[in-house]
Homo-oligomer: A and B are copies of this chain.
Amino acid sequence: MLIIGEKISIIAKKVREAMMNRDPKPIQELAEAQWRAGAHFIDVNTGPAEEKGDELMKWMVEIIQEKVHSPLCLDTTNPVALEAGLKFHNNQWGRALINSTSNEPERFVMLELAAKYNAQVIGLTLGKGGIPADAEERCGIAAEIMARAAEYGVSLEDIFLDPLILQVCTMQDQARHSIKAIKMFQELNDPPMKTVVGLSNISNGVPKTMRSLIDRTYLTLLMYEGLTAAIMNPLDKEIMDVLKTTNVFLGKTLYAHSYLEM
């Protein structure tokens, strides 16, 4: 399973300050730490980044890829900022991943950019109707995103479908719907569609001491149903240990007494 390191986010005060002050060090350190911990992509969440968002994203992409030889997951709702990131993304380390398109018309531009820059793109199964009621509705939205991708010339193999993980503490049934959607998404195409989740959304609103437990237990179930990628915290050793152990049960990793250290 692919790990998309979530730590470089405008939500974190330290990261936000480094972004504002254009101080590369804290950001580079977080990128390197996640990469060493096993992240395959580094998420770069600059938020809406309305003012000088393009300049900020260009700077972020350059300082991170100067230190870390991995592709980035460009995470902003601002298409101008996104395009700046794609333009300067070093594809030598892999193709960029756009976070995200959906079935909302204002997000179709992300497909246009994916096609233009040969990037991959996350398709969040959110449509005009708001939060989908169940796995079936998620599949309906996924099919619309897939059709839209074809229109824009984005290959289905470059789309990661995201079932939209909601907080279990207030929307408990949705936890099961999203697991089921991960299974169903794969059946929408042959070869199977790729899937992704924003893992920590499941534990939003939960007391902090319980979040990692909830995240990692949920991850096991999502992986069992074939999840391709997760936006998560690779610096959380307990989550990583569960991920590695689940991979042993799924036969993706050969068991060795030292498998947790690998």
Contacts and interface: CB of A to CB of B under 8 A. Distances in A.
Interface of A: 168-169, 172-173, 175-176, 179, 206-207, 210, 213-214, 217-218, 220-221, 224, 241-242, 245-246, 248-251, 254-255, 257, 260
Dominant secondary structure at the A interface: helix
Contact of A172 (B172, B220, B251): B251
A129 to B, nearest CB: 24
B217 A249 contact: yes
Contacts of A245: 213-214, 217
A213, A214, A220 interface centre (most CB from chain B within 10 Å): A220
Given A172-B254, A221-B220, A249 B206 contact: no
B217 A255 contact: no
A172 B257 contact: no
Nearest to A224: B221
Given A210-B260, A213-B242, A213-B245, 5 more contacts: A172-B248, A172-B255, A214-B245, A214-B248, A221-B246
Contact of A176 (B221, B250, B257): B250
